[in-house]
């Protein structure tokens, strides 16, 4: 009996002392400009020597220009993550720029390592997300309006306005990762067996082959 009591006391103490972190771990120094030429260590990249750090390391203009939306999805995604902007290394944040042609979509996807927030800069955008309980939430947003997507949940955006649309998104990870559902399932290398996908989606193998062919598998 006493042993169980002790067990529960230790358990509740450990839960209290070790809250789960929902974002990247806190850095223990002011900055750590990533040295991308070195291989990633367990959590992030090694730091450039502080003596070689310049102002340029803290600025990034990769999100300043409109992207090319001439593609199957009618969307361009420019990523401002640690790979593009090494100054973000260990800081637990990053941003994307998403340009949409009329009707363009940022297809259903999830970020395994980050919660996302976003703001519409131009146009009219349908933002949707689905919970782990398969409940769909959505809203059409216009300029200045903001959204949030809890970490890991499947979500998408679609330009439902007449003209172009533009959003900026922000993440609580320097490298949120993106699981693009369609590509993940139908364009993986090597391919997931047709039988598995046919059963999962309750369709014939030929339909699976048809979808796979569109994702280069
Ligand atoms: C946009 O991408 C398309 C398809 O790859 C290409 O044909 C076109 O030249 C690009 N436009 C610009 C302005 O770069």
21 labelled binding-site residue = no
Q: Say if CB 70 and CB 55 are below 8 A apart.
A: no
CB of residue 70 inside a 6 A radius of ligand 1: yes
Phi and psi, residue 34, nearest 5°: -65, 135
Query: Which of 68, 72, 99 most suits a substitution to test ligand 1, by most atoms within 8 Å of the C-beta?
Result: 68
Q: What's the whole-model pTM score?
A: 0.85
pLDDT at 28: 77
pLDDT at 151: 96
Q: Which domains does the chain have, with CATH numbers?
A: 69-173 (2.60.120.10), 187-217 (no CATH)
Residue 15 pLDDT grade (very low, low, confident, very high; cuts 50, 70, 90): very low
What Å distances lie between residue 83 and 60, 91, 167, 169, CA to CA?
A: 12, 13, 21, 17
- Please tell me if the CB atom of residue 72 comes closer than 6 angstroms to any atom of ligand 1: no
Q: What residues are paired with 136 via a beta bridge?
A: 130
* 66 within ligand 1 shell (Cβ under 6 A): no
Specify the pLDDT at position 21. Answer: 54
**87-113 pLDDT per residue, tens:** 999 999 999 999 999 999 999 999 999
The full length of the chain comes to 217
């Amino acid at each position: 009996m006493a042993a169980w009591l002790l067990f529960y006391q230790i358990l509740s103490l450990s839960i209290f002392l070790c809250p789960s972190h929902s974002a990247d771990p806190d850095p223990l120094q002011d900055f750590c400009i990533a040295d991308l030429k070195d291989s990633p260590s367990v959590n992030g990249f090694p730091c450039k020597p502080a003596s070689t750090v310049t102002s340029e390391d803290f600025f990034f203009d990769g999100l300043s220009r409109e992207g090319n939306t001439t593609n199957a999805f009618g969307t361009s995604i420019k990523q401002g993550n640690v790979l593009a902007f090494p100054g973000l290394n260990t800081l637990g944040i990053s941003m994307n720029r998403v340009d949409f042609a009329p009707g363009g979509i940022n297809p259903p996807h999830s970020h395994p390592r980050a919660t996302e927030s976003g703001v519409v800069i131009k146009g009219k955008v349908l933002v949707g997300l689905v919970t782990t309980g398969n409940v769909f939430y959505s809203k059409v947003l216009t300029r200045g309006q903001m959204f949030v997507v809890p970490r890991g949940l499947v979500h998408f955006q679609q330009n439902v306005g007449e003209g172009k649309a533009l959003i900026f998104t922000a993440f609580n990870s320097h490298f949120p990762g993106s699981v693009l559902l369609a590509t993940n399932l139908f364009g993986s290398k090597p391919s997931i067996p047709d039988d598995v996908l046919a059963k999962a989606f309750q369709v014939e193998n030929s339909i699976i082959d048809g979808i796979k062919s569109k994702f280069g598998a």
